[in-house]
Amino acid sequence: MNDHRRLGRELGIFDTDPLIGSGLPYWLPAGAALRKAVEDYVHELERRNGYRHVNSPVLGKRELYERSGHWAHYAEDMFPPMNVGGEEFVLRPSLCPHHAIVYRSHQRSHRDLPLRLAELGGMYRSEPSGVLGGLSRVRAIQLNDGHVFCPPEHAAAEVSAALDLIGQAHARLGVGAVRYRLSLRGEGGKYVDDPAMWARSEALLREVLAGRGQDYDEEPGEGAFYGPKIDIQITDPAGRESTLSTVQVDLYQPARFDLTYVSPEGPRRPVMVHRSVVGGLERLAAHLIEVHAGAFPAWLAPVQAVVLPLSDAELPAAAELLRRCLAAGLRAELAPADRGSLGARIRAHRLVPYQLVVGPREAAAGGASVRLRDGGQAGDVPVERLAAEARPFVG
């Protein structure tokens, strides 16, 4: 079974240490390369779809989360406040209050909308020790988050566009089978008590799902405290299900933060659409490790090319080829002859998409014989073409 907790350590993706703490894994070099590839891809995907990127602090005053509703409805999942200079600060459990502050940083017009904000930022949740595991359930999360502020009549189109973006990213990443879930309000004080608001938001999400012909299941009690959401569910090899991507409609926080925009009819309240294209990078990485069993697509592979000189005589030519690979943008490394026979080195790098073998003929020509991960032979392919093929966006 492709358990990411075992594979991730074997592949040098991540590790943990009791001195750092439970639920706080750290990324090793291969994992950092994988994560950066995902970050760059999603950032560019969002940019191409009209998002503007921001950065915000991982801390906020307690009053911020009282205003957003997190303190009243979500406090049990938050870390305790820290007293600094007589003020209480909290590690943020979500990025949405910060983005609401960004929105209201100056007056908005209907001509400015939709305003699509995105950020890859840290958020922190006080998860109980018993539910923590590997990368799939952690206490410090790097979240691909985003919020669209738009007129109410445009909210359905923005929700549908966010689902398109999620589908595009899932296909490119090779995410496995997914299930759509409409997560609704449950009972109790965890949820904002405004039935009319919930009914409006729920009707909008149902309209979008019906218009797309999307099958889905309903799950009362899984909504956000401020509104319903569409969750895209994934399953690990052990059959455990979790949420990867999500789209939410929020009519609550725009009112709490008194968000408005100027329209020909006068001041109006925007709708806030929350969306996460790939969710938390930790959970995404856990899923990708298991789906691909370490054989990541070329654009995502921590090492995209390995240069294999046949003997020490070809080492200078191999070193020059490595330099050209790195200059072209490939994540590449050198496996010299003193690390074993050619066959042994190929087996040691069996998960690397491109294996560049440099023998006497290739050294003289300044090239390499390209061997593919599946054992196929590609011949003498220019480094620049390999680099182009290994980019997340081709063309």
Longest dimension (CA), the chain: 78
Euclidean distance between CA atoms 78 and 330, whole angstroms:
41
369: Cα within 13 Å, side-chain hemisphere? 14
Coil vs helix vs strand at 15: strand
Q: In whole angstroms, how far apart are CA 82 and each of 75, 88, 94, 106?
A: 14, 5, 17, 30
Question: CB–CB of 217/196 below 8 Å?
Answer: no
Could you tell me which of 261, 254, 207 has the C-alpha nearest to residue 226?
A: 254
pLDDT at position 394, please?
Answer: 65
Segments of the chain assigned E as strands? 14-15, 26-27, 52-53, 59-61, 82-84, 87-91, 115-124, 140-150, 179-184, 217-220, 229-235, 241-250, 261-263, 266-268, 271-276, 305-309, 332-334, 354-358, 369-372, 377-379
Low-confidence ranges of the chain (pLDDT < 50): none
Q: In whole angstroms, how far apart are CA 5 and each of 13, 251, 345?
A: 10, 39, 25
Coil vs helix vs strand at 258: coil
Specify the DSSP element, H or E, that contains 7.
Answer: helix 4-10
pLDDT digits (tens, 9 = 90+) for 63-120: 999 999 999 999 999 999 999 999 999 999 999 999 999 999 999 999 999 999 999 9
**DSSP strand pairing (179-184 vs 217-220):** parallel
304: Cα within 13 Å, side-chain hemisphere? 24
User: Which residues are 117's β-sheet partners?
Assistant: 52, 147
pTM of the model: 0.94
Residues contacting residue 20 through CB under 8 Å, at least 6 positions apart: 26
Euclidean distance between CA atoms 156 and 137, whole angstroms:
31
pLDDT at position 377, please?
Answer: 85
Could you tell me which of 163, 90, 158, 92 has the C-alpha nearest to residue 121?
A: 92
The alpha carbon torsion through 202, 46, 140, 391 (nearest 10 deg) reads 140
148: Cα within 13 Å, side-chain hemisphere? 25
Domains in the chain with CATH codes: 4-292 (3.30.930.10), 305-389 (3.40.50.800)
Residues for the chain: how many in total?
Answer: 395
Euclidean distance between CA atoms 58 and 98, whole angstroms:
9
pLDDT at position 354, please?
Answer: 96
